[in-house]
């Protein structure tokens, strides 16, 4: 039975990967300081094969016994979070990645970094392919997240090249599904509660900026395929179906049957105008592509939000 540590294991994506690994027969240790995660995300996972450790991964990580896989998901991940927690975001991307890599090296474990499409910044190449180096403002307000992840990728590749550590890097594009925090600053968890309350949906800019939304079930399947592959370069995992934020708002109004209107606010600084993954590598190497249509995924997400205190 493989033994796997997931940092950020009580977060949105971390909790889903923990659940998936348990179903795959892993013993799972979820590690989280609960800065943005919550034990509510992992309460249903309690079993003999699952263990939770509250710990800040920017400090030394100790785990007794063998570890086969280290998956580093710890980080604030929404614009609201990393604008309010800039130092913590930089530290977990730099120090936290260093500590997680050190543990993987000590245990001779496979290491997977949860990186992000934000390494591409406000891209000048569209769609974004893995060999594009990006267009990032390192000193802008979003730079704390973008550059933390870019550093995390660099040190991960350094450990792979210098120490011959088995490493993987997944560049995660916009993902949605159950366990997203309401009002965390991202479009879908902002729009759904507004729609359910028949409140105006708040779109930033004129709504023409584009995103590509992947349902969490699809994303986790892609991440697992990368984890057990022999591929070491960064790989995009996301849904290439591109839509405007205005179209997303209109779709959520339709799915929820809401009477909400759309109102517009100024676009935040350095907000990317486009975002769409090129997933040719994932298709060829992993045999992966997303399968859940947006409306289907949104219906499941809406049902989860209906059970929350909004």
Q: Give, rounded to a whole angstrom, the gap between the first and last alpha carbons of the chain.
A: 40
Same domain, 72 and 133: yes
Has residue 309 been placed in a domain?
A: no
The alpha-carbon radius of gyration of the chain (Å, integer) is: 19
Same domain, 15 and 140: yes
Crossing angle for the helix pair 245-256 and 187-196, to the nearest 10 degrees: 40
Other residues' Cβ atoms within 10 Å of the Cβ of residue 160: 18
Phi-psi region of 154 (alpha: psi -120 to 50; beta: other; left: phi over 0): alpha
Confidence of residue 138 (pLDDT cuts 50, 70, 90): very high
- Residue 38 CA to residue 115 CA, distance in Å, equals 21
Q: Residue 280 pLDDT more than 80?
A: yes
Has residue 89 been placed in a domain?
A: yes
Same domain, 141 and 199: no
- Residue 16 CA to residue 102 CA, distance in Å, equals 24
What is the model's pLDDT at position 269? 81
Same domain, 22 and 132: yes
Has residue 142 been placed in a domain?
A: yes
Same domain, 147 and 85: yes
Q: Give the pLDDT confidence of 16-61 residue by residue, as tens digits.
A: 999 999 999 999 999 999 999 999 999 999 999 999 999 999 999 9
Same domain, 149 and 17: yes
Closest to 76 in 3D by CA, of 163, 162, 7: 7
Q: Give the pLDDT confidence of 225-269 residue by residue, as tens digits.
A: 999 999 999 999 999 999 999 999 999 999 999 999 999 999 888
Where do runs of H (alpha helix) occur along the chain? 12-23, 79-84, 86-91, 97-107, 143-163, 187-196, 216-227, 245-256, 280-281, 294-306
Same domain, 78 and 203: no
Residues tagged active-site: 145
Please give the residue that has the higher pLDDT: either 237 or 205. 237
Confidence of residue 279 (pLDDT cuts 50, 70, 90): very high
Has residue 28 been placed in a domain?
A: yes
Q: Give the pLDDT confidence of 142-195 residue by residue, as tens digits.
A: 999 999 999 999 999 999 999 999 999 999 999 999 999 987 889 999 999 999
Query: What H or E segment, with its residue span, contains residue 263?
Result: strand 262-265
What is the model's pLDDT at position 267? 84
Same domain, 81 and 184: no
Has residue 298 been placed in a domain?
A: yes
Other residues' Cβ atoms within 10 Å of the Cβ of residue 126: 15
Same domain, 54 and 171: yes
Q: Residue 91 pLDDT more than 80?
A: yes
Same domain, 121 and 187: no
Has residue 286 been placed in a domain?
A: no
What is the number of domains present in the chain?
A: 2
Closest to 237 in 3D by CA, of 188, 185, 175: 175
Q: Distance from CA of residue 44 to its chain's centroid?
A: 21
Same domain, 145 and 199: no
Same domain, 130 and 150: yes
What is the model's pLDDT at position 185? 84
Has residue 188 been placed in a domain?
A: yes
The CATH number of the domain where 187 resides is what? Answer: 3.90.25.10
The CATH number of the domain where 24 resides is what? Answer: 3.40.50.720
Has residue 57 been placed in a domain?
A: yes
Q: 86: exposed, middle or buried (C-beta count within 10 Å: 0-12, 13-18, 19+)?
A: middle
Q: Residue 277 carries which DSSP code?
A: B
Range of the domain at 298: 178-211+241-276+292-303
């Amino acid at each position: 039975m493989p033994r796997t540590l997931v940092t950020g294991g009580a977060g949105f994506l971390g909790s889903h990967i923990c659940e998936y690994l348990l179903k795959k027969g892993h013993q799972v240790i979820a590690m989280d300081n609960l800065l943005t995660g919550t034990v509510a995300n992992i309460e249903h996972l309690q079993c003999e094969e699952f263990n939770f450790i509250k710990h800040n991964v920017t400090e030394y990580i100790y785990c007794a016994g063998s570890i086969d896989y280290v998956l580093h998901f710890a980080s604030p991940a929404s614009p609201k979070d990393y604008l309010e927690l800039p130092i913590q975001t930089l530290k977990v991307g730099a120090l936290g990645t260093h500590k997680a890599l050190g543990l993987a090296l000590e245990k001779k474990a496979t290491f997977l970094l949860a990186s992000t499409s934000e390494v591409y910044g406000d891209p000048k190449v569209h769609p974004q392919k893995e060999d594009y180096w990006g267009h990032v403002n390192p000193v802008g307000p979003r730079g704390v997240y973008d550059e933390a992840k870019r550093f995390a990728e660099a040190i991960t590749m350094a450990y792979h090249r210098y120490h011959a550590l088995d490493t993987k890097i997944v560049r995660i594009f916009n993902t949605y599904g159950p366990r997203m925090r309401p009002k965390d600053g991202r479009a879908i968890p902002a729009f759904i509660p507004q729609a359910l309350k028949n409140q105006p949906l708040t779109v930033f800019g004129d709504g023409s900026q584009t995103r590509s939304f992947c349902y969490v079930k699809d994303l986790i399947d892609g991440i697992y395929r990368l984890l057990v592959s022999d591929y070491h370069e960064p790989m995009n995992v996301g849904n290439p179906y591109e839509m405007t934020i205005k179209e997303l708002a209109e779709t959520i109004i339709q799915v929820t049957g809401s009477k909400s209107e759309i109102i517009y606010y100024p676009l935040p600084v350095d907000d990317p105008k486009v975002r769409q993954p090129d997933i040719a590598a994932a298709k060829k190497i992993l045999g992966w592509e997303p399968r859940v249509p947006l409306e289907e995924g949104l219906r499941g997400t809406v049902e989860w939000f209906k059970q929350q205190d909004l």
